[in-house]
Amino acid sequence: MIKLEDVTVAVAGEPILRDINLEFKPGLHLVIGRNGSGKSTLLKTIAGLVKPVKGRVLVYGRDIHSLTRREVVKLVGYTWQNPYAGFVEASVRDELEFTRRITGVELNKEIIELLVPKHLMDRNPFTLSGGEAKRVSLASILALDQPVWLLDEPFDFLDTSGVEAVIKLIFRGVEKGKVVIVASANMAYLHVFRDSRVVLLSRGVVTFEGDFKDLSLSILEEHGVPTKTLMCG
């Protein structure tokens, strides 16, 4: 489980996350909020990529910012909002092998098969289409099958079959007992996750925390997430 204690993140003295106290237990959590509200920063902070100026992040009892990158990667799978941001290799095959090489952990082949079409294996990741890149990016990180998955806008760029594959993957992760956190500014697909917990961020502050079913349209609209038609179908 994940615990954030009094976490403040600032850039040039300006806070972008303020006094965050949150707990994430095994299961599915959505982090929602308008563009620029701090969702990616929150996920990157939990992944140890952004260091708070105050407070700490405990992941299964360990302060994430005291661990080496290798230890973090085995514990927490953070998938980038921008899929090209994480690519380091010259072929998709090598990109998928990269995390195994640096951690020594065997990859979950099912996850790779679910997301990555075989004909992409010899392509340069930087030349992939947006949806192809998102699939490879997700697979290259999540194939380590970490106990914690942090998915930053996992549906961006994907076609319908890609969205279905990612939804399936999220539910599989939850069934395996992982902590799965999905950050999204787009509510279009989120009604699928009606049994989740929700954190609503507004300008770096938590403005709602609770069950999805208790999230009212007025709360969403108040914080700039106008969703009536998208959420209710």
Ligand X SMILES: Nc1ncnc2c1ncn2[C@@H]1O[C@H](COP(=O)(O)OP(=O)(O)OP(=O)(O)O)[C@@H](O)[C@H]1O
Contacts with Mg ion by CB under 5 A lie at 39-40, 81
Verify binding: residue 45, ligand X, rule CB under 6 A. Answer: no
Task: Based on the shown chain and the rule CB under 6 A, indicate whether residue 39 belongs to the binding site for ligand X.
Answer: yes
User: For residues 177-206, which are near ligand X according to CB under 6 A?
Assistant: 185
Binding flag, residue 224, ligand X (CB under 6 A): no
* Smallest separation, CB 176 to ligand X (Å): 26
Q: Which of 4, 16, 96, 180 binds ligand X (CB under 6 A)?
A: 16
* Residue-wise DSSP of the chain: -EEEEEEEEEETTEEEEEEEEEEE-SEEEEEE-STTSSHHHHHHHHTTSS--SEEEEEETTEEGGGS-HHHHHHHEEEEPSSGGGG--SSSHHHHHHHHHHHH-PPP-HHHHHHH--GGGTTS-GGGS-HHHHHHHHHHHHHTT--SEEEEESTTTT--HHHHHHHHHHHHHHHHTT-EEEEEES-GGGGGGGTTSEEEEEETTEEEEEEEGGG--HHHHHHTT---HHHHH-
Distance of closest approach, residue 213 Cβ to ligand X, in angstroms: 23
Q: Which does 16 bind (CB under 5 to 8 A by kind): Mg ion, ligand X, none?
A: ligand X
Closest distance to Mg ion from the beta carbon of 73 (Å):
20
Interaction of residue 148 with ligand X, rule CB under 6 A: no
| 133/58 Cα distance (integer angstroms) | 31
Question: Least distance to ligand X from the beta carbon of 163, Å?
Answer: 18
- Give the binding range for ligand X (CB under 6 A) out of 30-38, 61-69, 161-169, 211-219: 30-38
- Which of ligand X, Mg ion, none is residue 48 near (CB under 5 to 8 Å by kind)? none
Nearer to ligand X, 45 or 140 (CB): 45
- Cβ pair 190, 213 in contact under 8 A: no
Q: Would you count residue 79 as binding ligand X (CB under 6 A)?
A: no
Site size with ligand X, rule: CB under 6 A: 12
Part in contact with ligand X (CB under 6 A); list of ranges 31-39, 68-76, 124-132, 206-214: 31-39
Classify residue 172 by burial, with Cβ atoms within 10 Å: 0-12, 13-18, 19+: middle
Binding site for ligand X (CB under 6 A): 11, 16, 33, 35-41, 81, 185
